[in-house]
Structure 1
Amino acid sequence: MQNAQELIEGSCSILLLTDDGIYAARDRLGRTPIVIGKKDGAYAATSETCAFPNLDYQIEKYLGPGEIIRITEEGMEQKKAPGDRMQICAFLWVYYGYPSSCYEGINVEDVRYRCGAALARNDDAVIDMVAGIPDSGIAHAIGYAIEAKVPYKRPFVKYTPTWPRSFMPQKQEVRDLVAKMKLIPIKELIEGQRVLFCEDSIVRGTQLQDIIQRVIDYGAKEVHMRPACPPLVYSCKFLNFSRSRSVLDLASRKAIREIEGDEDTDTPDEYADFSSEKYARMIASITRRLKLTSLQYQKLSDLVTAIGLPKERVCTYCWDGAE
């Protein structure tokens, strides 16, 4: 297991059931979590602590980066000590972590409230309501609404039976259809209103473009967007959470190509700098393409603060290219 973790590029956390116990191994940089739960002499290993409460398990141990343990009826035996360096994926808290889960003892829902509050503190938009793009945008929006003292409303309700996660299908047209059919608009809450949406992130932007157009068609006076993380400038090479076939699919890279006129732009570092002129031009391009009144992303420093871990222990590669 240790050899596999050293050879495999990306993230590889392993749970192995054998005749003499369960082996649990967290990937060498801790990008994905492994947590051990305990109750009445029984043990469980999972990546999501949300699996524990309804089964009456208590969190016993968060495995460290590269740590390997064996679990038997006698208890836990450490087979390999954890390494010093950790690079847990920040996107766990931003998007794909379950709200009731904790990673490194830090709850997902709490972090999303703090992300939303940080967005509000840096904003001066005059709006009538705050809304979240379901599902993961909701907690960010609640945090924003509480901090800004603006009503939180639901101009879209979600219908999920029979539909998969909208980012899962490989074909873009299928992803767009799924995203559209799952969100049902409420015209009475939209018409004539200045609406600010919080979203976990903007990856390709195609589904968001459709949502914004529907809000405009239903008579919104203004549509503002506040993603809870910075622009995704680099494609994840560790977990591939976005399902993008190419880094050029990213909304930020489309904007960079529009500005640079070069489809092979491999040095987007200046566009990842929040204070640069090129960053401002990139945001303006995305704003125009999405037909937004305004677009303001989360600062990376505010996101890291909301998570509550030192930056060097969090993977932020997709935003700043740091490894």
Structure 2
Amino acid sequence: MHESCGVFGIYAPGLNVARLTYFGLFALQHRGQESAGIAASDGERIRLHTRMGLVAQVFDEDALARLSGHAAIGHNRYSTTGSSKIANAQPIFVDGPAGSLALGHNGNIVNSAPLRKELISQGFTFQTATDSEIIAHLILSAPGKNWEERIRHAMRRLKGAYSLVILTEDKLFGVRDPLGVRPLCMGKVDGGWVLASESCALDLTGAHYMREVDPGEIITIDASGVRGSSGEPGKRALCIFEYIYFARPDSVIGGNLIYPAREAMGVGLAHEHPVDADMVMGVPDSATAAGIGYAQASGIPYGEGLMKNRYVGRTFIQPDQRLRDLGVKLKFNPMVERISGKKLVVVDDSIVRGTTTPRVIAMLRRAGAREIHMRICAPPIRYPCFFGVDMASRRELIAAQKNV
């Protein structure tokens, strides 16, 4: 499953903004592993560096040294619109009638096709296949006497989910869609301000968490300080997968720390679906907290039965099914001595395509488990998502094809 990308922005004259952005992207690596990039501004021009790969592979000391300036944005990509190739890496950089900007986007625009067609008819050319470039062109071509007005005008045209970081020569913007589908928060750092998809990126960069960017809000940060401009928010619709799977357990989203929220899911599962067993285990790492919650509520001991290779990417976030299948085999190794002869409760966060679950069960059976009782935190996922999660067809969803 693809989601979500990770976005980060910082405005802090006097600090090494490129390096802090690099650290912020490290903290958000779980949100996207296909490509990474940083754009930085020194007040006169915007410099950009993007590559395919993980953050540690994309940047070296020379690349960071070239990204000098007082403000920067960064992006980790997991493709939801546009294929996995370097041309679609972000941040993207676009010139237009109003000036130039760099933009990083987490989400998915539902009406991107008609907007792209409209912009092409107006003479715009596209360098990428992403909906993020559509957003950038909409902003640059929008009427308005300043950037805030142009961004607000573009927001009225967009349908879908978007948390944006936008960099101009002298300003940094954070933008969240009216439904607040994708997370975005802000923090204070010495001499400046930070924007990030998750608060864990603030922690790593030494920023103090201030608050979430409200749905429909535009945050503007420049030499005069920080200010927010609220639009008309819709009904709040934060993606439930942030709590179940995407977000790091140490992040705060919607005012809630993710770890105890996942722990509570396990407690609820134990109350709703108890079973007699010898050991509870969570599928690492996204279901660890829920597994511990199940064990605490049931009184069954918690133990680790699968060791995870943490150098393998998240299987849901691999670009195609063949890589997902291989990823499961590379990712987990059962500990036979802890599993053999036992009745197991195996807690997992969700079943989307059904890639991981049958392979995990087969591994545990081969390791000698006597009984395996699966417990899943998320309800059956029967319908596609069009707001930034890569499950756009019911054919992909196992719960849409099978009885539960």
| Selected match of 1:239 from 385, 388, 394 | 388
Between the aligned partners of 1:60 and 1:245, the Cα distance in structure 2 is 34
CA 207–84 in structure 1, closer or farther in 2 if over 3 Å, else same: closer
Amino acid at match of 1:123: H
Q: How does 1:61-140 map to 2 (within 5 A)?
A: 61-81=211-231, 83=233, 85-140=235-290
SS in 2 for 1:79: strand
Give the aligned partner of residue 252 of structure 1.
399
Q: 1:121–1:147: 8 Å Cα contact kept in structure 2? A: yes
Q: 2:385–2:391: 8 Å Cα contact kept in structure 1? A: no
Provide Cα deviations, 1:207-242, integer angstroms capped at 9, x if missing partner.
2111101211222111011111100011111122xx
Q: Provide the alpha-carbon RMSD of the alignment.
A: 1.6
Amino acid at match of 2:398: A
Q: What TM-score, normalized to structure 2?
A: 0.60
Unaligned runs of 5+ in 1: 256-281, 284-323
SS in 2 for 1:70: strand
Between the aligned partners of 1:7 and 1:103, the Cα distance in structure 2 is 27
Between the aligned partners of 1:4 and 1:190, the Cα distance in structure 2 is 55
Aligned length in residues: 254
Between the aligned partners of 1:231 and 1:57, the Cα distance in structure 2 is 38
Between the aligned partners of 1:247 and 1:2, the Cα distance in structure 2 is 34
Please say if 1:181 is aligned against 2:342.
no
Please say if 1:210 is aligned against 2:359.
yes
Q: What TM-score, normalized to structure 1?
A: 0.75
Amino acid at match of 1:18: T
Q: How does 1:14-25 map to 2 (within 5 A)?
A: 14-25=164-175
Q: 1:42–1:73: 8 Å Cα contact kept in structure 2? A: no
Provide Cα deviations, 1:154-196, integer angstroms capped at 9, x if missing partner.
11101122x3221233332221111111101111111111101
CA 189–102 in structure 1, closer or farther in 2 if over 3 Å, else same: same
Give the aligned partner of residue 346 of structure 2.
197
Q: 1:6–1:28: 8 Å Cα contact kept in structure 2? A: no
SS in 2 for 1:44: strand
Provide Cα deviations, 1:130-172, integer angstroms capped at 9, x if missing partner.
11111101111011111111111111101122x3221233332
Provide Cα deviations, 1:25-60, integer angstroms capped at 9, x if missing partner.
111210012111003331101111001123221112
Provide Cα deviations, 1:99-157, integer angstroms capped at 9, x if missing partner.
11111211111100111111111122101111111110111101111111111111110
Please say if 1:9 is aligned against 2:159.
yes
Give the aligned partner of residue 209 of structure 2.
59
Point out the structure with the larger strand share.
Answer: 2
Give the aligned partner of residue 155 of structure 1.
305
Between the aligned partners of 1:82 and 1:147, the Cα distance in structure 2 is 42
